[in-house]
């Protein structure tokens, strides 16, 4: 939620990203803060850009950390 809150507070108009964080995401997976009724800012969200490649990058990175 920290990144999502910063995005909302910065009033970014467009967010483009590769893959969702299914464990802790707050844009469109676990939570959806931009569409929450209490949210003070709306933004356009485009997700899934090179999704498979992004998922693999994350898996590889976390595998190296373990």
> What pLDDT is attached to residue 60?
97
pLDDT band at 66 (very low <50, low <70, confident <90, very high): confident
33-36 long-range Cβ contacts below 8 angstroms, 24+ apart: 33/1, 33/4, 33/5, 33/8, 34/4, 34/8
Domain boundaries, the chain: 2-65
Examine the pLDDT at 63 and tell me if it is beyond 90: yes
Q: Which two tokens stand for residue 31?
A: 């939570």
Q: Does the domain made of 2-65 have the CATH classification 3.40.140.10?
A: yes
CA distance 40 to 3: 16
Across the range 28-45, mean pLDDT stands at 91
């Amino acid at each position: 939620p920290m990144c999502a809150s910063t995005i909302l507070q910065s009033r970014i108009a467009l967010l483009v990203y590769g893959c969702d964080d299914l464990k802790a995401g707050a844009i469109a997976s676990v939570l959806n803060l931009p569409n929450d009724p209490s949210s003070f800012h709306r933004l356009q969200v485009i997700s899934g850009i090179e999704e498979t490649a992004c998922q693999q990058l994350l898996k590889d990175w976390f595998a190296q950390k373990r």
